[in-house]
Amino acid sequence: MGQYTKEKQSEKKSLYNNEKRNLPIIVFDNVEKKYHNGVKAIKNLSFQIEEGEFVFLMGSSGAGKSTLIKLILLEETPTSGKIYVNAHNVSKIKKTQVQRYRRSIGVFFQDFRLLEKKTVFQNVAFAMEITGASKKEITEKVNITLSLMGLSGKKNDYPGQLSGGEQQRVALARAIVNGPDILIADEPTGNLDPENSAEIMSLLKMINAYGTTVLVATHEQQMAEEMGMRVIMLNHGHDISKEKIEENVTRKEEVTENQEQTTQIDSPDASNEPVQVEVPVSAINFNASSVADDKNQIVTDSETEVDKNA
């Protein structure tokens, strides 16, 4: 995979001006993460996620999903390989720039992580207060975001007064109130019933429709299949998505071939009708003299046969 160079970064800016979204916003280029105990959480991982894309990150416990998210958030650094986020090589981001970098990424988790002593409004506003936003901007954006999440009537309530689905929507509102380019949802429906899970996924689709790139880490395969979005499947830190696609393609080809063979065997006309084969004239290699020699040979053979009979 090619490096995300400065030339591509300038191209990306021009595409923003044209409101086009077709360049990678997250790139993993042969990334490996090895911990001090020798465990390799990520192994030679390469993939890219384009701007405005909705992607599921799947895999069982220990597959590497959490490590991958930590690498994106700069909570961990790769042992080798390169990671680009929003055209930035994350390994070159200075410590003083980390907080600013993280503001371009919204994150929410299955355990909500709400501040129990703050109201719904205050919980969402807190995400803007730490960025230094004005009170007027905070009030305006928080109210709009709560309305989008269907929580306008709950803004003065405390987390303990809310249902699990409502708490998750507050966490989602807090994650998007600053208008991030990327939204990462780590097991967003892990603690929810099917009805609330479907509601959260519907809200994620709506957020994605506004242009936000969405990455959902989950182990719920059925949910990912029902959404019909792209899936990156991890197995012990290795991306097996392509392997599964190639396997499925091979199976489909085998099924198609078997169906064609069965059709030929079962065809009622196949055994009774003579097979006519058309041979192009250009493929026949002969000349007039060879034809004459063949005729003479046939005549000679016939005369010999007559003499024998006589």
122 vs 265, which has greater pLDDT?
Answer: 122
Mean pLDDT lowest among 123-132, 176-185, 229-238, 293-302: 293-302
pLDDT of residue 285: 44
pLDDT of residue 239: 84
For residue range 113-133, list pLDDT tens digits in order: 899 999 999 999 999 999 899
pLDDT of residue 269: 52
Q: Report which residue type is found at 166.
A: E
- DSSP class of 42: E
Q: Is the Cβ–Cβ distance between 84 and 29 less than 8 Å?
A: yes
Which residue in 239, 175, 207 sits closest to 46, CA to CA?
239
Residue 182's beta-bridge partner residues? 105, 213
Reduced DSSP (H G I as helix, E B as strand, rest coil) percent helix, strand, coil of the chain, to 5: 50, 20, 35
**Residue 291 — very low, low, confident or very high, per pLDDT cuts 50/70/90?**
very low
Give every CB contact of residue 200 below 8 A, 6+ residues apart in sequence.
165, 168, 169, 172, 188, 189, 192
- DSSP class of 226: H
Give the pairing of strands 54-58 and 213-218. Answer: parallel
For residues 186-192, average pLDDT: 86
Strands (DSSP E) contained in 59-195 are: 80-85, 88-89, 105-109, 182-186
pLDDT of residue 241: 76
In the block, tokens 């416990």 appear at 61
For residues 160-170, average pLDDT: 94
The yes-or-no verdict on residue 245 having pLDDT over 80 is: no
pLDDT of residue 254: 54
Q: Could you count the other beta carbons within 10 Å of the beta carbon of residue 151?
A: 20
For residue range 206-231, list pLDDT tens digits in order: 999 999 999 999 888 888 888 889 99
Q: Is the Cβ–Cβ distance between 128 and 141 less than 8 Å?
A: yes
Q: Could you count the other beta carbons within 10 Å of the beta carbon of residue 24?
A: 21
b/e map of 83-104 (b: 16 or more CB within 10 Å)?
A: bbbbbebbeeeeeeeeeebbee
Question: Concatenated DSSP letters for 206-218?
Answer: HHHHTT-EEEEEE
The yes-or-no verdict on residue 57 having pLDDT over 90 is: yes
Give the pairing of strands 213-218 and 88-89. Answer: unpaired
The yes-or-no verdict on residue 89 having pLDDT over 50 is: yes
Mean pLDDT lowest among 14-18, 38-42, 264-268, 301-305: 14-18
For residue 162, the SS3 value is coil
**pTM of the shown model:** 0.71
